[in-house]
Structures are given as C-alpha cells and as structure tokens.
Amino acid sequence: MSTGHPPPPGLSAERTRLSWRRTTLAATAVALLAVSAAIVDRPTPLGLAAAALLAWAWLAILVIAHRRIGALGRGVTATAGRWPAVLAFLVTAYAVLATILIMTADA
C-alpha cells in the first residue's frame, strides 16, 4: 500500500464497475436456481408466471448494471441516482416471485 498518496481515481470507478458485475453474476445464479425450480417442481400456471416475471427482473438487473458500468467506464463520477433503489426493488421482486413459485409448487 502507498503511504499518504490517495489511490489513482480510476481505480475507485473500476472497483465499483466490478462490484456491479459481481452483482449481476449473483443475480444470474439466483435466477438459474429459480428457473430450475420452475422446471423440476412441476409448477402451477401461477408458479410459471412467477418464474417468467423473475426472468424479466433478471433482465432488468442486467440492463441497469450495464448502464451504470457504461457510465463509470466513461468516467462519469455522478452518484448512482435512482438505480440503487430500482435494484433493491428488483431483488425484492425476486424474493416475492420465488416465494410464489415455491409455495404454489408444493400444493
């Protein structure tokens, strides 16, 4: 570690870009788990609809992460704006839709 010197400013943006990328990977893994549950557990139509909506939520997470990664890559240093809130609600949608998927498959 350097002493006293602040790290080069680009590193901060790069770490944040990689953090968004890791988040999309985690969201992808969870979406795959949900889709496999939708295939294996013989879901009801409601469960299938929940799985389809969850796939849309996954796509939306990819889109907002792509936008933010692109902005950070262009050197934009503005705060993330509304995207953290959108991401948090999409993850909440994951949880709600996964609950519907699991609960209807057991019936």
Residues contributing to the site for other proteins (CB under 8 A): 6, 9, 12-13, 15-16, 19-20, 22-23, 26-27, 29-30, 33-34, 36-37, 40-41, 77-82, 84-89, 91-92, 94-96, 98-99, 102-103, 106
Q: How many helices (H) and strands (E) does the chain have?
A: 3, 0
3-state secondary structure of 75: coil
CA 41, 43, 47, 50: dihedral to nearest 10 degrees? Answer: 60
Instruction: Specify the residue, 53 or 80, whose C-beta has the smaller distance to other proteins.
Output: 80
**Pair 100, 50: CB distance under 8 Å:** yes
Alpha-carbon distance 44 to 50, whole Å?
Answer: 10
Nearer to other proteins, 42 or 106 (CB): 106
Nearer to other proteins, 19 or 73 (CB): 19
CB of 45 to other proteins, least distance (A): 19
Output the smallest distance, CB 57 to other proteins, in A: 11
